[in-house]
């Protein structure tokens, strides 16, 4: 809700620094993180708590419960970049204070450090969360240290030469977990890019693979073979992201999306991943028809079109690209 309403504010406010969308998103932030009567403590000590007389403490897997922090950080960054008057300097300072406390816990609590060391998607998402939080408090160097560590450690053993993700393939829902970890890997790459290091997109694993290799392999999987047909669309945001970052000269990725979802050009994952083959034409048509705007709802989708146009006086496609930290993960998390 925070992310989508912040995007809706930016895309529909028509020059205003406040709207019903920004008010709603800020209220969510205040309720969850800042108001004394309702805010969560800056830790996950009891997340996925172990029950029983010897339990009553959280589990390291519970750290995953805040994997969506990249979305919240993206929303706040939009408010900052657009000088939204609902997001005041006092609220920003309070959020930074809460976040710094939580970062201290995240980097020192035993259950968090156990999650950080996880070799599979749990570890990948830990780095998503830590890097996004560093960005929120203005620590770009710290964010780069987080993402560089991920790409030097877990990432190196997560993808085999043919693109398989063996740790995810071993799970009970392998199709889902292939897409799940891909989303987290791509989010780490986008966080790294936002913090100043885009080279990780070409980082190769111990067996010479890249994120693109992993996506290409995942595209060969049939969700029905593992009784996961309901999860098929989870891969689509990663397809759009890889096509946008690595290129799609033969239309491989756009064709895959079109086959799975003929109206994919109206989906958020397409709009914030540009350009794909035919993407600019289709994206411009969407902008012209207004289908990218929020209409009759408090949520909307965003677009990233390498600065190819503007939706209003406040926010253009280039700014969405700028603040699109971990938007890849939005449709998956």
Give the predicted TM-score (pTM) of the model: 0.84
**Weakest mean pLDDT among 58-67, 106-115, 289-298:** 289-298
Question: What SS3 state is found at 331?
Answer: helix
**Are 132 and 326 a contacting pair, CB within 8 Å?**
yes
Residue 186 CB neighbours (<10 A): 27
Distance in angstroms (rounded) separating the CA atoms of residues 104 and 114: 15
pLDDT over 70 at 292, yes or no = no
**Weakest mean pLDDT among 57-61, 69-73, 78-82, 301-305:** 301-305
What does the pLDDT look like over 136-147, one tens digit per residue? 999 999 999 999
β-bridge partners, 48:
none
317 or 186: which leads in pLDDT: 186
**Are 126 and 60 a contacting pair, CB within 8 Å?**
no
Q: What is the pLDDT of residue 312?
A: 37
Q: What is the pLDDT of residue 148?
A: 98
Instruction: Record the tokens describing residue 213, joined without a space.
Output: 């290799």
pLDDT over 80 at 17, yes or no = yes
What does the pLDDT look like over 215-237, one tens digit per residue? 999 999 999 999 999 999 999 99
Question: What SS3 state is found at 316?
Answer: strand
What does the pLDDT look like over 19-76, one tens digit per residue? 999 999 999 999 999 999 999 999 999 999 877 777 678 899 999 999 989 999 999 9
Residue 133 CB neighbours (<10 A): 24
Q: What residues contact 223, with CB distance under 8 A and at least 6 apart?
A: 175, 229, 230, 231, 232
Q: What is the pLDDT of residue 198?
A: 92
Confidence of residue 13 (pLDDT cuts 50, 70, 90): confident
Dihedral of CA 76/40/116/109: which sign? positive
The b/e string for 237-266 (b: 16+ C-beta within 10 A; e otherwise) is bbbbbbbbbbebeeebbbbbbbeebeebbb
Confidence of residue 107 (pLDDT cuts 50, 70, 90): very high
What does the pLDDT look like over 188-209, one tens digit per residue? 999 999 999 999 999 999 999 9
What does the pLDDT look like over 119-159, one tens digit per residue? 999 999 999 999 999 999 999 999 999 999 999 999 999 99
Confidence of residue 290 (pLDDT cuts 50, 70, 90): very low
Q: Mean pLDDT of all residues in the chain?
A: 84
- 82 secondary structure, DSSP code: T
Instruction: Record the tokens describing residue 211, joined without a space.
Output: 């994120």
């Amino acid at each position: 809700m925070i992310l989508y309403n912040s995007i809706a504010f930016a895309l529909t406010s028509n020059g205003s620094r406040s709207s019903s969308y920004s008010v709603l998103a800020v209220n969510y932030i205040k309720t969850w993180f800042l108001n004394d009567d309702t805010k969560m403590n800056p830790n996950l000590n009891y997340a996925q708590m172990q029950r029983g007389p010897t339990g009553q403490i959280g589990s390291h897997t519970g750290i995953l419960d805040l994997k969506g922090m990249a979305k919240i950080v993206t929303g706040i960054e939009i408010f900052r970049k657009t000088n939204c008057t609902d997001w005041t300097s006092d609220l920003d300072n309070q959020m930074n204070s809460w976040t710094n406390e939580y970062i201290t816990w995240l980097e020192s609590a035993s259950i968090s450090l156990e999650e950080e060391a996880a070799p599979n998607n749990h570890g990948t998402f830990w780095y998503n969360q830590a890097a996004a939080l560093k960005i929120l408090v203005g620590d770009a160097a710290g964010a780069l240290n987080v993402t560089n560590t991920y790409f030097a450690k877990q990432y190196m053993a997560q993808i085999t030469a043919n693109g398989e993700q063996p740790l995810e393939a071993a799970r009970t829902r392998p199709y889902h977990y292939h897409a799940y970890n891909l989303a987290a890997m791509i989010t780490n790459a986008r966080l790294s890019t936002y913090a100043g290091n885009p080279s990780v997109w070409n980082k190769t694993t111990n067996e010479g693979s890249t994120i693109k290799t992993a996506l290409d392999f995942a595209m060969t999987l049939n969700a029905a073979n593992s009784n996961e047909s309901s999860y098929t669309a989870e891969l689509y945001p990663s397809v759009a992201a890889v096509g946008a970052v690595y290129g799609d000269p033969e239309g491989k990725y756009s064709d895959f999306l079109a086959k799975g979802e003929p109206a994919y050009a109206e989906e958020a994952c397409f709009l914030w991943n540009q350009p794909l083959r035919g993407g600019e034409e289709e994206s411009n048509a969407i902008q012209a028809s207004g289908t990218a705007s929020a209409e009759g709802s408090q949520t909307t989708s965003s677009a990233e079109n390498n600065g190819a146009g503007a939706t209003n006086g406040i926010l253009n496609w280039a700014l969405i690209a700028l603040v699109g930290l971990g938007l890849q993960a939005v449709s998956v998390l």
